């Protein structure tokens, strides 16, 4: 990375820490967490909003609260200011009870940026406890017949028992971390089994991916792919492709199985070939309208995946290739997709993301996971590798 690029990323990191501090000060004592922005302002809700069913409609609950705690830890790593650690601990106390949440696979998203990263950032073994509790809750979602982690709903719910989602690939790091912390190989074994199932069923021949896949929970037989947030069952939801790229790259890092490297690279080739020149995709590659909503969070996720491939790929040329792509993606985001200088209008870091276009929710917004993956990649390039994906 050139000296000028390094300086640019450090400037953005410092600006981001100031923006995070402003949000934390405003929310301090409110017991609410930023989720997505509406007209530039964070929509906030409590950490104890659980996922659940409303008839046959699924509500995901607050699956993003851990990313906010993780952002506070990233700010602490850069500044070493005690206020960020204090905020992270305070908000983390509100998240901790979710370690027993039996309704969702997103418990990995809730606990690996918050408590797993926090235990390392603060050198505090006490913070490992809630993350390990969450890992135990997550592995209970494993269906051994289909070799998958059930995505949504109580384990005995008839509408949910066969549900899986590409997003789960980026919940698996909590399980790999739990094996390293405890020595219990079962966490990693379940993560590997799910990653194998995901690579088999989610990845299409052209490198695009399904968002969801249904299984017969009794036999484990795959039934078919679909979507919840994409344009259609057979379209290519761009964020889903990047969940796969980053997740399979991490699976290769953990298990060195060529199946995972091949899956990550096939999805990466598809994504790079489909994105426009600024490397930020439309929310779904099937949306060919003149001005489709963008999803900058997908680029942030992909950059993290490419930084993993840069460290683990056996081919030195490929390592350089993925590093260069990651830097180019982050440079593009820093140039045209952040709210720097827009303090009167924008509270988020990364602009022009899309939560769910089909549901009209968080379109052209900042989203908490986008801010997290964006700043995590910036941290990787400036202060050194962050040990939790």
Please give the positions annotated as active site: 106, 167
Q: What angle do CA 228, 367, 305 make, to 5 degrees?
A: 80
Q: State the burial class of residue 169 (Cβ atoms within 10 Å of its Cβ: 0-12, 13-18, 19+).
A: buried
Pairwise CA distance, residues 352 & 283, whole Å: 10
Which two structure tokens, joined as six digits, stand for 194?
A: 């799910």
What angle do the packed helices 316-336 and 368-382 form, to 10 degrees? 120
Pairwise CA distance, residues 247 & 280, whole Å: 19
Pairwise CA distance, residues 93 & 95, whole Å: 5
Pairwise CA distance, residues 13 & 303, whole Å: 16
Q: How do 148-149 and 142-143 pair as beta strands?
A: antiparallel
What angle do the packed helices 258-274 and 296-312 form, to 10 degrees? 140
Q: State the burial class of residue 126 (Cβ atoms within 10 Å of its Cβ: 0-12, 13-18, 19+).
A: exposed
């Amino acid at each position: 990375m050139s000296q000028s690029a390094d300086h640019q990323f450090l400037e953005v990191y410092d600006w981001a820490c100031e923006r995070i501090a402003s949000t934390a000060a405003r929310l301090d004592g409110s017991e609410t967490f930023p989720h997505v922005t509406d007209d530039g302002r964070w929509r906030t809700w409590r950490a104890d909003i659980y996922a659940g069913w409303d008839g046959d409609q699924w509500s995901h609950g607050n699956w993003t609260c851990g990313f906010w705690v993780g952002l506070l830890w990233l700010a602490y790593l850069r500044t070493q200011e005690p206020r960020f650690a204090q905020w992270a601990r305070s908000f983390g106390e509100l998240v901790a009870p979710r370690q027993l949440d039996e309704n969702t696979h997103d418990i990995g998203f809730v606990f690996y940026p918050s408590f797993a990263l926090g235990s390392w950032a603060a050198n505090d073994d006490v913070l490992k406890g809630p993350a390990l509790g969450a890992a135990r809750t997550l592995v209970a979602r494993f269906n051994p017949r289909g070799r998958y982690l059930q995505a949504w709903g109580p384990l005995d719910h008839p509408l949910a028992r066969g549900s899986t989602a590409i997003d789960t690939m980026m919940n698996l790091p909590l399980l790999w971390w739990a094996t390293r912390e405890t020595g219990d190989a079962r966490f990693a074994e379940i993560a590997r089994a799910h990653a194998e199932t995901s690579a088999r069923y989610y990845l299409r021949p052209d490198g695009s991916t399904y968002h969801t896949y249904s299984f017969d929970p009794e036999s484990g037989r795959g039934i078919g792919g679909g979507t919840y947030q994409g344009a259609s069952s057979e379209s290519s939801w761009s964020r889903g492709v990047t969940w796969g790229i980053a997740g399979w790259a991490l699976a290769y890092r953990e298990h060195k199985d060529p199946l995972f490297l091949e899956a990550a690279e096939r999805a990466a080739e598809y994504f790079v070939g489909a994105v426009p020149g600024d490397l930020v995709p439309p929310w779904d590659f099937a949306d060919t309208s003149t001005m489709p909503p963008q999803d900058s969070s997908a680029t942030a996720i992909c950059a993290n995946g490419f930084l993993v491939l840069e460290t683990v790929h056996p081919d030195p040329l490929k390592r350089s290739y993925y590093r260069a792509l990651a830097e180019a993606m982050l440079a593009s985001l820093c140039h045209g997709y952040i709210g720097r200088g827009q303090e009167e209008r924008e509270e988020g870091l990364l602009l022009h993301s899309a939560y769910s276009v089909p549901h009209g929710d968080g379109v052209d917004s900042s989203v908490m996971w986008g801010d997290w993956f964006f700043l995590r990649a910036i941290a990787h390039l400036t202060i050194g590798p962050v040990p939790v994906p």
